[in-house]
C-alpha cells in the first residue's frame, strides 16, 4: 500500500514497482485516515507511509494502522529535514521497520534514481524476510541458524577495549535494546556505531540515544577521542574509521567511495578498528539488509576479536548478520534479547 498526499508520488512509485516486477499494489491513500481504512480492508504486507499529509499525518496514523493490521511492515518516507528525521525516528519507536529519505522535486534526476533503487531493494529484502519468518512460524521447534563453514578462529580471549555495532534495516530499535541491556557496563568501554542512515538522521539518532540512555552519545567528529563511557555514531554520508594518534585511538572520518553501496560502511569501521585494537574488540552485527560488515569482520576475526551476530528469527532483515554467519565469522548467534547480556559478560569478564 502506498500512502502519500501527492498523486504524482503515488503514481511514480506504483510505476516503479510495476516495472520492477514481483509487487502487487493492493491500495493507495492520500492521508492517514484513508490509510487506516485501506489497511484494514486490503491487508497489505508492506506499507509505504508518508509523514507530511493533511487531516491525519503519518505519525498519528502509524499506531492506528498497526492496530488494525499488526502484521504489516511499515516503511516511513519523508523529505530530508531535521524535523522529519526526528519524526521518522519516533515512527521507528512506534513500530515502523525502516525509513527512506524522499528526494525533493527540485533535486537532480540522480536523487530520484537513488531513491528508486533504495526503495526497491528495501521492499525486496522485507519480502524475502517475511517468507523466512513464515518458515520459522511454521516450524514446531525454533532452531538457531549455525555457521555454514567452521569458524576460522576462536573467540577473543582479551578483555574488550572497544565495542563496535553495525546495523541497517530495523537497526535503531535493535541498537536501543542492546545498549539498554548492556547499560551497566557501558561506562567502562567506548561504543562506535555504524547505522545506515542519511545525513541529518544520524545526529538525531545520536541525540535520541543520549536521552534514552542518559549517557554521552553524539554524532562522531573527525579527531574525536575514543573514550570509555561515550557512544559515537558515524555521520550519514561519511565513513567512520579509527586510527592511533599520540598513543590513543581517535576517530577518522573520510569521504571515500561507498563500500557495499554504503557510506558510512560497517566494513570501514571494522577493518580500521582491527588495526588499532587488535583482538581487544567485541563487535555486534545486528539486523540489516545487504552484506556490509562481512569483509571487515574477516579482519576482526583474524586479529582475534569476538563477533556476535543477531539470529534470523529476531532480525527484521537477516542480511548483514546472515552474511556474517554464512561466512563462518560469528562466534555467537543470538536473539536480540540475549545480545546485550552476552556483550556485558564479555566486557565485564562475568557470565552474569
Q: Of the residues 5, 267, 292, 311, which is catalytic?
A: 292
For residue 342, the domain's CATH number is: 3.40.50.180
Same domain, 80 and 196: no
Q: Is 72 inside a domain boundary?
A: yes
Q: Is the pLDDT of residue 6 over 60?
A: yes
State the residue range of the domain holding 32: 2-138
Q: Of the residues 30, 78, 167, 168, which is catalytic?
A: 168
Q: Is 334 inside a domain boundary?
A: yes
Task: Give CA–CA dist 35/326, Å, rounded.
Answer: 39
Would you state the pLDDT for residue 195?
97
- Is position 50 annotated as part of the catalytic site? no
Same domain, 188 and 103: no
Same domain, 207 and 64: no
Task: Give CA–CA dist 14/235, Å, rounded.
Answer: 32
Same domain, 122 and 177: no
Q: For the chain, how many structural domains are there in total?
A: 2
User: pTM for the whole thing?
Assistant: 0.89
Q: Is 144 inside a domain boundary?
A: no
Would you state the pLDDT for residue 157?
67
Q: Is 157 inside a domain boundary?
A: no
What average pLDDT is seen over the chain? 90
The residue out of 138, 173, 189 marking a domain boundary is 138
Same domain, 130 and 20: yes
Same domain, 133 and 169: no
- Is position 196 annotated as part of the catalytic site? yes
290-340 pLDDT, tens digit per residue, is 999 999 999 999 999 999 999 999 999 999 999 999 999 999 999 999 999
φ, ψ at 20 (rounded to 5°): -70, -30
Tell me which residue of 248, 160, 240 sits closest to 202, measured CA to CA.
240
| One-letter-per-residue 3-state SS of 55-116 | CCCHHHHHHHHHHHCCCCEEEEEEECCHHHHHHHHHHHHCCCCEEEEECCCCCCHHHHHHHH
Q: Of the residues 5, 196, 208, 291, which is catalytic?
A: 196
For residue 102, the domain's CATH number is: 3.40.50.2300
Same domain, 191 and 286: yes
Q: Is 154 inside a domain boundary?
A: no
Same domain, 292 and 235: yes
Same domain, 133 and 207: no
Q: Is 149 inside a domain boundary?
A: no
Same domain, 117 and 193: no
Amino acid at each position: 500500500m502506498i500512502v502519500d498526499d501527492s498523486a504524482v508520488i503515488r503514481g511514480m512509485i506504483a510505476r516503479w514497482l510495476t516495472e520492477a516486477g514481483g509487487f502487487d499494489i493492493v491500495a493507495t491513500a492520500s492521508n492517514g485516515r484513508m490509510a487506516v481504512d485501506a489497511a484494514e480492508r486490503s491487508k497489505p504486507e508492506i506499507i509505504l507511509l508518508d509523514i507530511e499529509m493533511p487531516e491525519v499525518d503519518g505519525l498519528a496514523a502509524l499506531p492506528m494502522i498497526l492496530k488494525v493490521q499488526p502484521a504489516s511492515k511499515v516503511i516511513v518516507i519523508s523529505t530530508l529535514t531535521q524535523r522529519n528525521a526526528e519524526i521518522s525516528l519516533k515512527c521507528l519507536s512506534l513500530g515502523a521497520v525502516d525509513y527512506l529519505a524522499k528526494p525533493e522535486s527540485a533535486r537532480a534526476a540522480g536523487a530520484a534514481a537513488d531513491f528508486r533503487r533504495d526503495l526497491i531493494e528495501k521492499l525486496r529484502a522485507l519480502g524475502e524476510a517475511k517468507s523466512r519468518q513464515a518458515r520459522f512460524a511454521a516450524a514446531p521447534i525454533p532452531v538457531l541458524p549455525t555457521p555454514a563453514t567452521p569458524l576460522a578462529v576462536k573467540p577473543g580471549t582479551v578483555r574488550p577495549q572497544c565495542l563496535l555495532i553495525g546495523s541497517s534495516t530495523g537497526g535503531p530499535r535493535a541498537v536501543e535494546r542492546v545498549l539498554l541491556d548492556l547499560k551497566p557496563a557501558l561506562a567502562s568501554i567506548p561504543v562506535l556505531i555504524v547505522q545506515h542512515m542519511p545525513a541529518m538522521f544520524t545526529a538525531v539518532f545520536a541525540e535520541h540515544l543520549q536521552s534514552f540512555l542518559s549517557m554521552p552519545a553524539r554524532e562522531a567528529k573527525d579527531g574525536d577521542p575514543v573514550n570509555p563511557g561515550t557512544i559515537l555514531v558515524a555521520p550519514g554520508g561519511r565513513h567512520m574509521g579509527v586510527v592511533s594518534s599520540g598513543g590513543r585511538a581517535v576517530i577518522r572520518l573520510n569521504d571515500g567511495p561507498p563500500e557495499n553501496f554504503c557510506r558510512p560502511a560497517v566494513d570501514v569501521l571494522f577493518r580500521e578498528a582491527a588495526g588499532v585494537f587488535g583482538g581487544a574488540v567485541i563487535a555486534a552485527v545486528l539486523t540489516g539488509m545487504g552484506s556490509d560488515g562481512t569483509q571487515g569482520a574477516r579482519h576482526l576475526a583474524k586479529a582475534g576479536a569476538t563477533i556476535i551476530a543477531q539470529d534470523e528469527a529476531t532480525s527484521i532483515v537477516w542480511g548483514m548478520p546472515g552474511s556474517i554467519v554464512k561466512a563462518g565469522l560469528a562466534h555467537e548467534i543470538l536473539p536480540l534479547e540475549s545480545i546485550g547480556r552476552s556483550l556485558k559478560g564479555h566486557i565485564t569478564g562475568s557470565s552474569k
